[in-house]
Amino acid sequence: MCVPFCVVVHLMAAFAMSEFAWLCVWALLFVLQHLGVTSSGLRTALVGRVGEKAYLGVYSLLSIVIFVLLVRAYNDSLPSMVFWPTFEWMRVLALCVMPVALFLLIGGLVHRNPSTVGVVLDDGEEVPVTGVMRITRHPVQSAILLWSLTHVLVNPDPPSLVFFGAIALVSGYGMRLIDQRKQAVFGASWQAFSEATSAIPFVAVASGRQSLRLKEIGVLAPALTLFAYFALWWGHAYVSGVSLVQVIQAANA
């Protein structure tokens, strides 16, 4: 009984801090905006009233504002406790997963991605399965989900759990919402596309439904991934205050 009680006390003390309280507020708004609006009839009503382009413009601007405030609140929140100890394998795993996440993110942006907002296919056109889409039909969402989950693993404190947990929830459940919306738009074409691919990376490849074709991926996405990884390697300390060099040294200590 002592351990749960201590956890509750620490959480209450953390929430009493204005920074952590604001972090929870912005995290909740972040989730509600991305999942609540999309999963309800509110999005359809708003698009019908103001139009698709105006809706996407306001939605994007609001997303940026909320996310900036979310990041600011996270940076201002101080950890008051940790939920589990961190080990060397956790840090090594995070460092190994990051190149994969970066590749999926960049590949989903530079290649034609039917799951992206605003992509429209002609009536009756088959939804293409090429490039990074053979790995996952949601490359961008999968990348963000991998990034957020690995950061939760190595940062087991209340602010990190709220911040990265909110992003993981939006990315993970967002895949289902995207599938539902695209199914309604593309019908049988999207159904066939979903059956030939996987939401979880590499599952379709492992099951034999897809095979990796490096020619379709090309050199641009891997080159940009390599550049982005080294940029983050040296710039991580400026972005988050944590040096990846120190992380490696801690893992080898």
Work out whether the CA dihedral 154, 157, 163, 166 comes out positive or negative.
Answer: positive
Q: Average pLDDT of the chain?
A: 81
Distance, in Å, from the CA atom of 75 to the CA atom of 26, rounded to the nearest integer, reads: 13
* Per-residue pLDDT reduced to its tens digit, 15-70: 555 788 889 999 999 998 888 777 667 777 877 788 878 888 888 898 899 999 99
Pairwise CA distance, residues 227 & 229, whole Å: 6
pLDDT band at 89; cut points 50, 70, 90: confident
| Residue 173 φ then ψ, to 5° | -70, -25
Band of pLDDT at residue 6, cut at 50, 70 and 90: low
CA distance 145 to 169: 8
Q: How confident is the model at residue 188 (pLDDT cuts 50, 70, 90)?
A: confident
